[in-house]
Copies of this chain bind each other. A is one copy, B any other.
Amino acid sequence: MKLYDGGRAPNPRRVRIFFAEKGVPLPELIPVDIARKEHRTPEFTRINPSQRLPVLLLDDGTALAETIAICRYIESLHPAPALFGAAPKEAALIEMWNRRIELGLFTAVAAVFRHSHPAMAELEDQVPEWAEASREQIDDHLVLLDLQLGANRFLCGDELTVADITAGIAIDFMKPSRIPLPEDFTNIRRWHGELSARPSWKV
């Protein structure tokens, strides 16, 4: 296997952290420079027509795109620890929280970054109104996350799951998106401090 990687971008980081939390060594990395638009070249578009990173290249030549599809594939080859859960209800609640964060906080932060960060102006047709409307939703998403983390060490209980990786990276992504994390989200701060101290978070 080889992993087409995108450096500091959030989705490539999610996948590298997932490998680390699974205790699975990273495959050979093929760096793709997003700032230089290497993900938009004809060569890369043949690998992933969606022009997104990362992509896991399997030994038979199959190009597997989409962060969570890659993570699930790794989990199916290496079931323990079960970062997507094991028992049906537990797995369903992890999937619920992973999607709730992805479709909520993560998407909103990404929209602020994409549509307002000066560095993205060359890569995207920026829509400032999209950034602004997304920015206004973020507090509601943080309230929901903080509430859940007030009642649980990790999002879905006592153990880290894929939902924590998604949510932790969404919080990390707020910094380059220039969105401050208000002081009073003390549960998010406690949990994010714990995540950031894990060896996986350095990858």
Contact B95 A49, beta carbon cutoff 8 Å:
no
- The CA of A91 and the CA of B75, in the complex, are separated in Å by 12
Q: Is the CB of B100 within 8 A of A66?
A: yes
- Taken residue by residue from 77 to 114, chain A's Cβ proximity to chain B (1 for < 8 Å, 0 otherwise) reads as 10000000000110111011001100110000000000
Complex: chain B residue closest to A143, CB-CB: B49
A153 at the interface (CB under 8 A from B): no
Which residue on B lies nearest to A92, using beta carbons?
B73
| Minimum CB distance partner of A126 in chain B | B133
Distance in Å from the Cβ of A149 to the closest Cβ of chain B? 13
Known pairs A49-B144, A50-B104; A95 contacts B66 (CB<8 A): yes
B147 touching A49, Cβ below 8 Å: yes
Chain B residues with CB under 8 A of A99: 66, 68-69
On whether the beta carbons of A144 and B73 are closer than 8 Å, the reply is no
Q: Is there a chain B Cβ closer than 8 Å to A158's Cβ?
A: no
Contacts of A194 in B (CB 8 A): none
SS of A interface (majority): helix
Among B65, B88, B103, contact of A73 (Cβ-Cβ < 8 Å): B88
Say whether B127 contacts A96, CB under 8 Å.
no
**Are A95 and B76 CB-contacts (below 8 A) given A49-B144, A127-B130?**
no
Cβ–Cβ < 8 Å partners of A65 in chain B: 96, 100
Contact pick for A130, options B73, B89, B103, B130, CB 8 Å: B130
Quick check: is A129 within 8 A (CB to CB) of the other chain? Answer: yes
Q: A69: which of B50, B73, B96 is its contact (CB, 8 Å)?
A: B96
Could you tell me if B91 and A76 are in contact, using CB atoms closer than 8 angstroms? Answer: yes
Question: Across the interface, do B68 and A95 meet the contact criterion of CB distance under 8 Å?
Answer: yes
A-B CB contact pairs (8 Å), 6 listed: A50-B104, A64-B89, A68-B99, A69-B95, A127-B129, A127-B130
Closest A-B pairs by Cβ, 10 of them? A73-B92, A76-B88, A69-B95, A69-B96, A129-B129, A66-B99, A66-B96, A127-B133, A130-B130, A127-B129
